[in-house]
């Protein structure tokens, strides 16, 4: 039986469309859709168990995978099968998760899985921009308790004009690359990179994307209504006890407020809060705690959150005693590690990052091999968050999604300030040594200083800051918090990280937890973030105000040289012999790439010390050396022959030419050694290609004075009598000058 298919189409306004279809594929899932734009197709399925899990959180898994078959390719590596997700896939998972998770009820704890797969790829469509739409559309067709449809959209700007879901080619021309996640009513997530834009421009980009998202949300509603909206499933809610909640609130609120107002350090404050909690639990019997002990902890944390928020809204004070716009104390240091190519320590309050920089050739570029994109990164950043940074001991199970996301944010913040003509491949690694609030922004600051310490010629230094928001929707009061603590991240209404130079924003990441946040509050928060950014930037430039002019003595120097395409083979040599020997002799690394536009060879020479690099450059100069006709050059004898001497140009070692015996001197030379010997250095004149021998001709005698009475030998007369042919009694004409009285074969037969 042919299944009934339901479909909705979204017009992007420039001839492009996005369609959402259901009813054909994966019908046993609780909800499934195929989202298509051009030839790009995403299949999204959602399933949620009907039994609540025995946990106090939502066990939601968002999985995004790109199938290599979608672009007609094989997976790389030995096993030709998709394996662990790539960093690009993980970043897409995080984008979708951050928008979906807040819209499930807080007491919904059923195992829930969202799976999004790229089934068909289109070079002109970036699939990650449609992943949020696919996830939400599938949920709308399910019976999950989910607040409202959402979607995500990418926004770019080309020549001052915003565009929704630009192609990868268009992004190369765009000064904005932002992903916005929102419902029809509220913006919930923002992440992206920009070319030093203003706070107002960023807000305008968010507004533009939000308008497109509203249309995508409306399309999901229409699809669900046409398909048949399911009744929301029933589930066992958490136990509640309003009397118990009030009792614990009355016992905890004032004490928490007093401790919060005292402005203590992280561990001291945590210990004091734990003591209040234990004191409250001690008022209950063991039987009561066994019955509703989990509720005691939950209601205590609610009271703690309320007290801390009220302290900030009422008195403008924070947990560590700072005012709302105050930045924690900062100290910095560069060149901390003696053997790295560049290093820096950045400490802000109880957050500390140690960044290192390693310089390399294009051979060390980070290779990206995804079905939707193949390329390489010449600048990349890795972020590590070990458990000791928060005073914890826990298993280490590889790189976490959080580490990938934070590292990507810091990379996007810095990469635009690395010059396009930087010859190096640059790897930055951030080790978080302490954490209490925005280690990703500490990574940006430490990375900036480490790059400048390494001699990477950053266009401008970059700083970053994490901001928070506490608001009271009833009274309209709100407080924007600069440089938030870890605790403030959890209890606030917005967590946003902003990076930039003194002239504008380079990257951002926002999670907005309240509905209907006004753009006025958003712009005010961004402007306060700018003040904080500039304050931190001042601290950075006090430590190191500009990039070091040279790399460190133990760091490699990179020199790039372009050579014509026809010389690449000669430089490499048969089987790579020439280039391998050159690297061994000069202790350098040589990489040769071809410019896809000009087809020139791009030679990268990486070496510690000037001597080896100069030797390679000399070899290249020798290879490219072209003497000019009529010019005089110094040469050195490198080989003696019976009929002349092989000489090489001293300014181009390895570039050889034969000096014929007849060009050594004006007098007749019987033996070459009568005039020159091995190792002799003298001048010769270059005559270009000899028309008779078809070889290059140089002469020593041409620049020597003629001996007195010298008589030049007459030139040979090829037509004179007595030649070799005449001695044999033959006519000296060629085959074409045979006797014309010879008759053709046919005529002979007739005669």
Known binding positions for Mg(2+): 489, 495
Locus of tokens 């078809």: 694
Yes or no: say if 34 and 42 are a contact pair by the CB < 8 Å rule: yes
| Encoded tokens for 406 | 């934070």
Q: Give the whole-angstrom CA distance, residue 623 versus residue 617.
A: 10
Task: Quote the longest CA-to-CA distance of the chain.
Answer: 143
**Three-state SS string across 5-20, please?**
CEEEEEECCCCCEEEE
The β-bridge partners of 18 are 10
Task: Measure the CA–CA gap between 137 and 36, rounded to whole angstroms.
Answer: 13
d(CA 78, CA 216): 41
Q: How far apart are CA 620 and CA 653, in angstroms?
A: 10
Nearest of 467, 458, 413 to residue 196 by alpha carbon: 413
Q: At what angle are helices 266-281 and 242-262 packed, to 10 degrees?
A: 150
Helix axes 199-227, 519-543, angle to 10 degrees: 130
DSSP 146-182: ----EEEEEEEEETTEEEES--HHHHHH-SEEEEEEE
CA 197 to chain centre: 20
The answer to whether 156 touches 179, Cβ cutoff 8 Å, is no
Residue tagged 């300030």 (tokens):
417
Determine the straight-line distance between the first and last CA of the chain, rounded to whole angstroms. Answer: 95
What string of DSSP letters covers 617-678? HHHHHHHH--PPTT-EEEEEEEEEETTEEEEEETTSTT-EEEEEGGGS-SS--S-GGGT--T
* Residues that constitute the known binding site: 489, 495
> At 264, which helix (H) or strand (E)?
none
CA distances from 339 to 22, 343, 554, 555, 556 (A): 58, 9, 7, 9, 12
Give CA torsion, residues 711, 715, 719, 725, to 10 deg: 90
Cα–Cα distance measured from residue 382 to residue 211, given in angstroms and rounded to the nearest whole number: 35
468: left (phi over 0), alpha (psi -120 to 50) or beta: beta
CB 553 within 8 A of CB 344: no
For the CA atoms of 35, 37, 38, 41, the dihedral, rounded to the nearest 10 degrees, stands at: -30
From the number of C-beta atoms within 10 Å of its C-beta (0-12, 13-18, 19+), residue 707 rates as exposed
Cβ proximity of 177 and 156 under 8 Å: yes
Q: Give the whole-angstrom CA distance, residue 443 versus residue 381.
A: 9
């Amino acid at each position: 039986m042919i299944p009934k298919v339901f479909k909705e189409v979204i017009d992007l306004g420039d001839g492009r469309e996005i369609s959402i279809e259901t009813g054909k594929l994966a019908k046993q899932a609780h909800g499934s859709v195929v989202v298509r734009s051009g030839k790009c197709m995403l299949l999204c399925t959602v399933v949620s168990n009907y039994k609540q899990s025995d946990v106090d959180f939502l066990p939601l898994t968002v999985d995004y995978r790109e199938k290599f078959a979608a672009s007609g390719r094989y997976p790389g590596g030995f096993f030709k099968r998709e394996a662990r997700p790539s960093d690009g896939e993980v970043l897409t998972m995080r984008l979708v998760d951050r928008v979906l998770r807040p819209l499930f009820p807080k007491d919904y704890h059923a195992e829930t899985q969202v799976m999004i797969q790229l089934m068909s790829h289109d070079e002109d469509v970036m699939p990650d921009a449609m992943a949020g739409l696919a996830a939400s559309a599938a949920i709308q067709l399910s019976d999950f308790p989910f607040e409202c449809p959402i979607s995500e959209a990418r926004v770019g700007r080309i020549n001052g004009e915003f565009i929704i879901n630009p192609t990868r080619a268009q992004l190369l021309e765009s000064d904005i690359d932002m992903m916005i996640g929102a419902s029809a009513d509220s913006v919930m997530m923002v992440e992206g990179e920009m070319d030093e834009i203003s706070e107002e421009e960023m807000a305008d980009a968010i507004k533009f994307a939000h308008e497109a998202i509203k249309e995508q949300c409306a399309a999901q509603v229409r699809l669900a209504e046409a398909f048949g909206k399911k009744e929301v499933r029933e589930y066992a809610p958490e136990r509640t006890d309003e009397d118990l909640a009030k009792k614990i609130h009355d016992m905890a609120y004032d004490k928490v407020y007093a401790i919060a107002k005292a402005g203590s350090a992280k561990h001291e404050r945590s210990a004091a809060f734990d003591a209040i909690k234990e004191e409250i639990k001690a008022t209950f019997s063991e039987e009561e705690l066994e019955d509703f002990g989990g509720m005691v902890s939950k209601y205590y944390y609610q009271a703690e959150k309320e007290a801390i928020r009220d302290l900030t809204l009422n008195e403008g004070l924070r947990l560590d005693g700072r005012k709302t716009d105050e930045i924690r104390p900062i100290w910095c240091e560069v060149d901390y590690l003696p053997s790295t190519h560049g290093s820096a320590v950045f400490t802000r309050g109880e957050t500390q990052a140690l960044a290192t920089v390693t310089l390399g050739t294009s051979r060390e570029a980070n290779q990206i091999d995804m079905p939707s994109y193949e390329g390489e990164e010449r600048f990349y950043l890795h972020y590590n968050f070990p458990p000791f940074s928060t005073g914890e001991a826990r298993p280490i199970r590889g790189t976490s999604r959080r580490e990938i996301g934070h590292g990507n944010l810091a990379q996007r913040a810095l990469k635009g300030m690395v010059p396009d003509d930087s010859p190096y491949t640059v790897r930055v690694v951030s080790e978080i040594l302490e954490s209490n609030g925005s280690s990703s922004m500490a990574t940006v600051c430490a990375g900036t200083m480490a790059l400048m310490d390494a001699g990477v010629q950053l266009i401008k230094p970059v700083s970053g800051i994490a901001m928070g928001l506490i608001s009271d929707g009833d009274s309209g009061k709100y407080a924007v918090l600069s440089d938030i603590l870890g605790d403030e991240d959890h209890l606030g209404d917005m967590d946003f990280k902003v990076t930039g130079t003194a002239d504008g924003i380079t990257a951002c990441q926002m999670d907005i937890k309240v509905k209907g946040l006004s753009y006025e509050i958003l712009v005010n928060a961004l402007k306060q973030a700018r003040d904080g950014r500039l304050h931190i930037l001042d601290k950075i430039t006090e430590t190191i105000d500009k990039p070091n002019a040279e790399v460190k003595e133990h760091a490699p120097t990179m020199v790039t040289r372009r050579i014509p395409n026809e010389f690449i083979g000669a430089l490499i040599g048969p089987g790579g012999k020439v280039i391998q020997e050159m690297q061994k002799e000069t202790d350098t690394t040589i990489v040769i790439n071809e410019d896809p536009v000009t087809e020139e060879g791009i030679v990268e020479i990486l070496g510690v010390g000037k001597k080896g690099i100069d030797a390679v450059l000399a070899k290249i100069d020798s290879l490219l050396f072209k003497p000019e006709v009529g010019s005089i050059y110094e040469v050195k004898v490198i080989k003696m022959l019976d009929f002349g001497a092989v000489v090489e140009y001293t300014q181009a070692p390895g570039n050889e030419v034969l000096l014929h015996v007849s060009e050594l001197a004006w007098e007749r030379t019987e033996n070459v050694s009568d005039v020159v010997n091995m190792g002799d250095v003298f001048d010769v004149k270059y005559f270009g290609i000899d028309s008779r021998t078809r070889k290059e001709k140089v002469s020593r005698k041409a620049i020597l004075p003629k001996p007195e009475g010298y008589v030049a030998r007459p030139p040979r007369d090829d037509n004179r009598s007595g030649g070799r042919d005449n001695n044999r009694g033959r006519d000296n004409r060629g085959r074409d000058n045979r006797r014309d009285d010879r008759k053709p074969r046919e005529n002979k037969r007739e005669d």
